[in-house]
Structure 1
């Protein structure tokens, strides 16, 4: 079987939707846990459909499935209910016949999709020798994920999609800037065709576009001047913004990220890339390039003058601590050559290292000036606990970046050394990484003086800090 991606979206072959957690309102109405998972996800770019395949430590070829939204692992609901919840705090693999075990084995299977095209799908065998299946026959549990004693055609077959290959666009309007060397914005100001025009401006309505995601990471591009979608036409494969079709494959494009904020766009119908090319009136967009080149690259530019992030709400109960390691940070030696015990004082110095990253799920790097308000950040207290600390707020750098810093720390240690003895003192710390999801409000200001507020829940805080300082002493006789 080919190498599986680390972060994935799991799509049901039966209904074509993505595995996600149940909506809160539905869980209350049906009396189900909020961690119940079902195949109801429709937006592949939503943080609610992201999972991680985490390799098992004791069984090669087996994985744990971590739900990234709440940092919990898929586990059976109980010994008597074989439906899955995203509720296990830790991966469990000790007892292979225990229903709590969280291990799955992906099994490759080739089957045909709804268009009769041969596709690679996966089945997930649970460690109890049952198979994960899409449920359709119990009303309250409809579209849930459960384990069956036997394989069930189509209901036990899933498409696994690479989350990290997705291009997640901003929620705001964007402009496309040609990277062919001209640096012109793509606009239809001149005529009905999309062109890279020298006199096009970022704030022009002709250069403004809304991006909507369809299917497994494809997009449709809606021009604000015509309020219609881009379409690669039949005659010359030129791009025009004149379609109101929502199912036409020639209006659908696969974005591929090639740099921080640069993409190429492959038309789903022609399987060719868009490029800028000279024609009689000027420089137009065509859909006839089979390879990626400078002519096919477009910078994605947000049409936002400034951005403010506020009302950050960390869900620390859904945070996780991982990558724990014990590090010796400092050591010192104290010799007592006398014939009597001696009390000595040592000063141990070490660098207190931290890193902080606060970002959202948008794939593309933005050059929009962003400020954010934050009154506390997560901090690891021990391997089981995360707290929010107001004392560490000054450690936060810019939105979307990672800030690493060190602070020289000193600690005095007093010890009693026996006669004719050398005491060796070492200072050890535990270092760990924590991830904590958060929601926030985002206020965007635009070139026309208007602004828009969005309520978002795709934030992720990642931090590294040390804790559990421990001083160890050993003795040896002086020579």
Structure 2
């Protein structure tokens, strides 16, 4: 490597998009449909990603425990870690990189290479990912991600160079036909006059002029198209924003910055904001994101329903698994000779929490209902399902249910012994991706239906109820008038 190459310590973002300096495309996880159609593993990684907002291009960089200068790379779409595997169809470069390991691996063997990579800076902005043990570099080669020792004859010198883009700096607008922008005067942004200057002058969300389409361009820039004029925003006379451009071009690019749950500022070389020189207009002449630079993003859909959910449990992950002491009970046997068998009753609560959400950046108050007939849950070391009647629940909100339960445990208590029984429950969380159908009813009564695959189910539940008994000898001076055995009331813990 050149002298300009330096090793990153912990300077990478947690969630990243990996962009090729060679192809100018993003590393992405293959879809289930593509995997079936091409006859390739569902863990395959492709080199042709062109939508930076897709959940398929999101990866998590996790520092290795053995050496924090190395990283494990987890594909967020299928929750699997990147690892090397022999590609028998490629004689020249047999090592392909797949998102196939369920856990990070910090050791290497011929049968199972480790999942750790060294990230090194190469030049001003580009990086290389080198597999620690094999010293092979990750490379966009042909249609996939390979691990190479050198540049193939039919390769390119930049095929091992990548940009690391911060996923969390991206603003993901709603997967909806149109949005509106609410200004500091509590009015919606609309085009005004023959020159379509953008003003905050409408109080009606159903006004056709307030609706805008968002187009994502490049590494997270957006273009904003007003629906009523059919034209894009741009900077024009005296830095005012006009909807006058008919085609996507550099002059229509804005960089969105999220400033609150449903609020954004748009940068066009400088932040844009309303200015008193043009009553309630949109102007771009500030170098700071001030209070008047903030636009509230409002969806123009009147209502929304989510249905046709298709979970992908094989791409889910289980985490935060822990044992919890739920309750204790004890039994005492003062008999000098005989064992006693007693029943202990435990009272306790179990919790279950569920959340259905998508990858959008904003929390926008469109009334949304979701129909589900099965719910993922953690069952020992796998993700299972509980099947229930089709029900309607909320979207992007957590539903928590606590259930009071009683269990009886029969314990054999030896003579002159106190036996204490503890009820241990295991609690775990899971993330399960899913695809779904979204049906939007707009304010004019029209219906828009989308098929989307960015859903994430997050669940918490209790499982594996175990009883653990502990014995201790009783003192020998017990009053003979007392009963030979007793049961202490259950002490419940939550």
Q: Same fold (TM over 0.5)?
A: yes
Give unmatched runs, 5+ long, in structure 1. Answer: 112-119, 137-141
Shift of 1:316: 1.4
- Tell me how far 1:190 sits from its aligned partner: 3.8
Cα deviation for residue 332 of structure 1 reads 1.6
| Alignment match of 1:127 (pick from 122, 125, 132) | 132
- Counterparts in 2 of 1:307 and 1:28: CA distance versus 1, 3 Å: closer
Alignment of 1:399 onto 2:395: yes
Shift of 1:108: 2.7
> Structure 1 length as normaliser, TM-score?
0.90
**Superimposed CA distance per residue, residues 31-78 of structure 1 (whole angstroms, 9 cap, x where no aligned partner):** 533322122000000111111123333333222211122222212122
Instruction: List runs of 5+ in structure 2 lacking aligned partners.
Output: 1-7, 89-93, 476-494
C-alpha contact (below 8 Å) 1:131/1:156 kept by paired residues:
no
Equivalent residue runs for 1:141-180 within 5 Å: 142-150=142-150, 153-170=157-174, 171-178=176-183, 180=184
Listed one character per residue, the Cα deviations across residues 108-153 of structure 1 (whole Å, up to 9, x for unaligned) are: 3333xxxxxxxx33211112242433344xxxxx142111224884
CA distance in 1, matches of 2:438, 2:393: 18
| Residue matched to 1:320 | 317
Deviation, 1:99, is: 5.0
Q: Which runs of 4+ in 1 moved over 6 A?
A: none
Shift of 1:226: 1.5
Residue aligning to 2:263: 262
Structure with higher Rg: it is 2
Deviations 1:143-175 (A, max 9, x none): 421112248842222111122221111232010
Classify 1:160/1:96 alpha carbon distance in 2 versus 1 (closer, same or farther; 3 Å).
Answer: farther
Q: Does the CA-based 8 Å contact 1:66-1:73 persist in structure 2?
A: yes
Kindly state the Cα deviation for residue 213 of structure 1 after the two structures are TM-superposed: 0.5
Matched residue pairs, number? 456
Write the distance in 2 (CA, Å) between the matches of 1:478 and 1:317. Answer: 52
Specify the alignment match of 2:102 in structure 1: 89
Please tell me whether the aligned partners of residues 17 and 41 of structure 1 are also in contact (alpha carbons under 8 angstroms): yes
- Using the TM superposition, give the Cα deviation of residue 30 of structure 1 relative to its aligned residue in structure 2, in angstroms: 5.9
Cα RMSD between the aligned structures? 2.2
- SS of residue paired to 1:367: coil
Deviation at 1:410, TM superposition (A): 1.5
Query: Aligned equivalents of 1:392 and 1:431: distance in 2?
Result: 25
The correspondence of residues 21-420 of structure 1 with structure 2, limited to 5 A, is 21-22=29-30, 31-78=39-86, 81-95=94-108, 99-111=112-124, 120-136=125-141, 142-150=142-150, 153-170=157-174, 171-178=176-183, 180=184, 182-233=185-236, 235-248=237-250, 250-267=251-268, 270=269, 272-280=270-278, 282-339=279-336, 340-383=338-381, 385-391=382-388, 397-420=393-416
With structure 2 as the length reference, what TM-score do the two structures score?
Answer: 0.87
SS at match of 2:233: strand
